[in-house]
Structure 1
Amino acid sequence: MLDDRAKLLLKVLVERYIADGQPIGSRTLSRSSGLELSPATIRNVMADLEELGLIASPHTSAGRIPTARGYRLFVDTMLTAQRQALVAPQLPAEQPQKVIANAAHLLSNLSQFVGVVMAPKRSSVFKQIEFVKLSERRVLVIIVAPDGDVQNRVMFTDSELDSSQLIEAANYLNSHYAGLDIEQVRERLRTEVEQLRSQVADLMQAAVNISAEALSPATQEEQVVIAGQSNLLAVSDFSHDMHNLRRAFDLFEQKTQILRLLDFSSQAEGVRIFIGGESHIVPIEELSVVSAPYEVDGQIVGTLGVIGPTRMPYDKMIQIVDITSKLVSNALSHQR
């Protein structure tokens, strides 16, 4: 579609606009490109790029700015393979929730934009259940998920159970049902616990019910962690446009569209870029999202990314997101 000269001028225009945030004129393009072209020739090339919808001319300026389509072409075909090495701190292999929170802040700190992480989809499978007697009829149920997440719930029993009964119930559940979906466990318990003493059977039924609640899908607040929203206040594209700034903060507060976007991103491997204005996935034209899925033991379980202005240094953001997804994958996979 474009000859080498047009590609180079578009690349220079995008890079200069990302760096300066101002419309780029033909004189700046001539100096920055290193091409010995007359201003008239450059204006003709820019007119062609504008006709193709790759750049646009703000009505108040003779210079040009990239469009969403121009950014897309730049991202897809013009980012150099040689990228400056980025050294990111290691994420500590703590509880999954802490890893997710740390990752969101790391993305925000490295990018100076907004870091978002979709938490791992909570498994409805338990790895281990233990019972601890708290008082006469109060029992602490400890539920360990396959990803190492631990949920604690207090339950009340109809009668007092001794330690041997609690151990018997835990051993039976762990030896017969560990690794099964909690609904499968609930169904099988209805027919398989008749040989056990009724008090222990009742305890197991109650424990499975409370485990189903503990392992239920996360709320929207728990599903996505967002850090660094205030960074947008320092971005001229938003600080000078309160309407778009409010729209962006509404997006972060509601989270529904972010979850939909991150969930969509998890369907493909590697880094993906969504540029505002080119689709309905990013609802604000001035925002772009660079995202990547992360894994636990080879299985994709969530997505993370950076949300920032369309005028962002994409090569750096790609690297930040790619490295952070690997850090999260390593931290979570080492927990088992």
Structure 2
Amino acid sequence: MSTSEKKDTTQSKTGRSIDKRTQSLFKILVEDYLKHGTPIGSKHVADRAFFRISSATVRNIMASLEDQGLVVSPHTSAGKVPTEQGLRFFVDSLISMEPLDRRVVADLSESLREDLSPKELVEKASKLLADLTCFVGVVTTPRPEQIELRQIQFLPLTQHKVLAIIVVNEREVQNRVIETEKNYSNIELKEVANYLNQEFSGHSLMAIRQQLLDSMRQDQQEMNRLMQIALDVAAKSFAQESELDHDFVFHGERNLLGLLSSSEEVQVLLDAFRSKSSMVDLLDRCMASEGVKLFIGSESGYEPLGEYSLISAKYEVEGSIAGAMGVIGPTRMPYQKVIPIVDTAARLLGKALDHTHS
């Protein structure tokens, strides 16, 4: 994530300019709030400033920042804490990134080994993010265009039911029970599997689906029996709702549960992580951004995560965007530490996945 060059004045989203001295004091307030989680008083900020300033002057400056919506007083007699808008201004304009410890980089590199399968790599990456940040690590599986068919096999079960055994990306196996329009013999299913393996092995699932859809638009009366059977069983095997499709894994939800005060809050959070469509949609939105993408609090538009922040980055496989990964934690998280971890992990995951496709 690039940070803009620090200027003498910077505009907040309110459109009002903030001079360099005020930026410095605001940065002290935010950094200490992120570290301690308590309201920060004017005297504390004045004592921490690298220039001489009275607590009364700081108090006036903080009142101005409150008028701009950047800070708020939780209680009348308390100090100030940054608002969502204040955190956004801090991250966009004032944050000082901490260089990633070489031991952390080494741990990520050694754990995301090139000999692991894509599924194992995604699981490992999610757990690493959770362990390194003490928050929740989420990683989407590679998008369908990055999932390639290696082999397919069909076994007859009962009437109108067939077991499809699909091998993708070298080692991942998915078993699917599909309902067919007719009953097929074991010999017929073997012939169809041989045909599909010959025609589609090495092709992406997305490309296979499209080709099957194009074939289904043709006059099936003119097709030979093998093609008719192939369309019947293959179209269902590669249906859009296949579990091989875009999904996500997460680890570390217990890291957040300790921060919650009621069982209702716990249930809302767990339901949020279990809502596949909402979480995948949120992470997919991150893939459209360059570098690291941040949603702070309500910015995500996903109500269950309204009190949390998501720091995410896309990962690429063979030069194409394949998925996204990120960390979900309280809005009071050490952004300067978490952002480099997510950024580095995304690059290393993509590098490891490159080798599984080569």
Q: Distance in 2 between matches of 1:167 and 1:279?
A: 44
Counterpart position of 2:118? 96
Query: 18-27 vs 274-283, which deviates more?
Result: 274-283
Q: Distance in 1 between matches of 2:147 and 2:30?
A: 49
> Matched residue pairs, number?
327
Q: Distance in 1 between matches of 2:265 and 2:284?
A: 24
Q: Which of 46, 52, 62 matches 1:30?
A: 46
What is the identity, as a one-letter code, of the residue corresponding to 2:43?
A: R
Counterpart position of 1:115? 137
What is the identity, as a one-letter code, of the residue corresponding to 2:347?
A: K
Q: Which of 4, 17, 20 matches 2:36?
A: 20
Q: Deviations over 1:173-200 (max 9, x none)?
A: 248x95642341464486799797x5x5
Q: CA deviation at 1:19?
A: 0.9
Query: 32-41 vs 156-165, which deviates more?
Result: 156-165
Q: CA deviation at 1:57?
A: 0.7
Q: CA deviation at 1:48?
A: 1.2
Distance 1:279 1:297, change over 3 A: closer
Q: Deviations over 1:263-313 (max 9, x none)?
A: 211111210111113463465442111111111211112211111111100
Distance 1:254 1:173, change over 3 A: closer
Q: CA deviation at 1:64?
A: 0.7
* Contact 1:125–1:181 under 8 Å retained in 2: no
Q: Distance in 2 between matches of 1:132 and 1:266?
A: 36
* Contact 1:277–1:283 under 8 Å retained in 2: no
Q: Which of 25, 29, 43 matches 2:59?
A: 43
Distance 1:251 1:60, change over 3 A: farther
Q: CA deviation at 1:317?
A: 1.0
* Contact 1:113–1:229 under 8 Å retained in 2: yes
Counterpart position of 2:3? none
Q: Distance in 2 between matches of 1:233 and 1:128?
A: 41
Q: Distance in 1 between matches of 2:270 and 2:203?
A: 43
Structure 1 stretches of 4+ with a deviation exceeding 6 A read: 132-135, 154-157, 189-196
Counterpart position of 2:211? 184
* Contact 1:91–1:327 under 8 Å retained in 2: yes
Counterpart position of 1:274? 295
Distance 1:208 1:110, change over 3 A: same
- TM-score by length of structure 2 reads 0.76
Q: Which of 278, 281, 285 matches 1:264?
A: 285
What is the identity, as a one-letter code, of the residue corresponding to 2:58?
A: I
Q: Which of 204, 207, 211 matches 2:237?
A: 211
1:173 counterpart = 2:199: yes
The answer for unaligned runs of 5 or more in structure 1 is: none
Distance 1:270 1:218, change over 3 A: farther
The equivalences for 1:116-265 within 5 A come to: 116-123=138-145, 127-129=149-151, 131=153, 143-145=166-168, 149-152=172-175, 158-159=184-185, 161=187, 169=195, 172-174=198-200, 178=203, 180-185=207-212, 187-188=214-215, 198=225, 200-201=226-227, 204-213=230-239, 216-218=241-243, 223-235=247-259, 238-239=260-261, 244-265=265-286
Q: Secondary structure at the match of 2:187?
A: coil
Q: Which of 85, 88, 91 matches 1:75?
A: 91
Q: CA deviation at 1:74?
A: 0.7
Q: Distance in 2 between matches of 1:20 and 1:70?
A: 17
Q: Which of 330, 342, 345 matches 1:324?
A: 345
Q: Deviations over 1:199-224 (max 9, x none)?
A: x55664455235324x744389x722
**RMSD value over aligned CA atoms?**
3.7
Q: Distance in 2 between matches of 1:202 and 1:279?
A: 46
